Amino acid sequence: MLLVCNYYLTLRCNARCTFCDLWEKADAPLADTETVLQNIRQIRAAGVRIIDFTGGEPLLHPDLPLFLAEAKRRRLKTTVTTNGMLYPKRAEKLRGLIDLFHISIDGASSETHNRLRGIDCYDKAIESIELAVSLGEQPDLLFTANADNYLDVTPLAEYARKSGLVLIVNPVFEACGGKGLLNREQLLELEGLCRKPNVYLNGGVFSIMKDGGVDTDNPRCRAVSSTVVISPENELLLPCFHQMNSSVPINGDLKRTLNSAERREALAKQGRYPFCQGCTINCYLAPSLPYRMDRYFAAFLPWAAKYLYYRYLFKIKHSRTT
């Protein structure tokens, strides 16, 4: 059964992150509004339970609140990740529509965060976090850990603890030619630093990283089985966004597209393509974990329980003050 739809609303971005190159696509299109709504109406029947509106910067799409509302009507869990630059202006229209709301924060100081993000946006990220909490939202702090900033986990964990929020730590993966990748020694140090209150690290994906990434002789990735990836141009991307080697136009019929010969071929090859060897892309390894009960799934479970525990504590605290 499919679990997640990664819906790319645009590849445009208003940041210039050192660990990502999507922002270079300044003329990238926005997804057509009616097409997005049509796909949302079909997606639950395909087995999807979570829809992640992503990019680029998803808040650049003016109709994001409309998409979120339609997804909620279809009983889909919604996820949005933002750099926070536009959130203060759009917060009221987004209020109550996002189940898992991630605000990126990549340093404990404006100097570190702004250097990695390529723009002056630290203050806006902090403003967005505090505004979201004041509106009754429960944002997670999303920290992309690389060789330059991973020690900032410690002060950011303290900020998360004081705020009652969760700091999600995602080690950078090889999307941009390996820039900023942590070596094994740094990964082990980061793992120890993450054993603080209010910090979540996907233990299963992290274990795959420590083992050197995906092994095509014993494939662990189920990117095609677990995830539907839709481009702004309304194409199904296979086998995943970052290693796309084929695309299938959806043309109003998502079910037909999911049954296409191209997707069946990708299903047979998932985790076995030559480019899969050594892959550590969290976006697809994370939803792949439940497809096999092994040591990677076992490594994920205690961290998942930790995440849910701190989410629960936040809800209890704020239910008493409202």
| pLDDT tops 70 at residue 322 | no
- What is the pLDDT confidence band of residue 26, given thresholds at 50, 70 and 90? low
Total of domains in the chain: 1
Query: What does the pLDDT read at residue 178?
Result: 58
Query: What does the pLDDT read at residue 105?
Result: 96
Asked whether the beta carbons of 280 and 213 are under 8 A apart, the reply is yes
**pLDDT tens column, 86-132:** 999 999 999 999 999 999 999 999 999 999 988 999 999 999 999 99
Query: What does the pLDDT read at residue 31?
Result: 97
Query: What does the pLDDT read at residue 39?
Result: 97
| pLDDT tops 80 at residue 265 | yes
Residue 53: phi and psi, rounded to 5, are -85, 115
Name the maximum alpha-carbon separation found in the chain. 54
Query: What does the pLDDT read at residue 318?
Result: 76
If you average pLDDT over every residue of the chain, what do you get?
93
Asked whether the beta carbons of 82 and 60 are under 8 A apart, the reply is no
Averaged over 32-61, what is the pLDDT? 95
| pLDDT tops 70 at residue 320 | no
- What domain range includes position 21? 4-319
- What is the pLDDT confidence band of residue 1, given thresholds at 50, 70 and 90? low
Query: What does the pLDDT read at residue 298?
Result: 97
**pLDDT tens column, 62-76:** 999 999 999 999 999
3-state secondary structure of 158: helix
- What is the pLDDT confidence band of residue 28, given thresholds at 50, 70 and 90? confident
Which amino acid, one-letter code, is at 107?
G
Predicted TM-score (pTM) of this structure: 0.94
Asked whether the beta carbons of 64 and 82 are under 8 A apart, the reply is no
Give the range among 22-31, 126-135, 222-231 with minimum mean pLDDT: 22-31
Task: Output the domain CATH number for residue 115.
Answer: 3.20.20.70
Residue 281 to residue 175: CA distance in whole angstroms:
8
**pLDDT tens column, 156-200:** 999 999 999 999 999 988 765 557 889 999 999 999 999 999 999
Averaged over 44-62, what is the pLDDT? 94
Place of tokens 């189920």: 222
| pLDDT tops 90 at residue 19 | no
Query: What does the pLDDT read at residue 255?
Result: 94
Helix pair angle (295-319, 203-210), 10° resolution: 140
| pLDDT tops 90 at residue 22 | no
Residue 106 to residue 114: CA distance in whole angstroms:
8
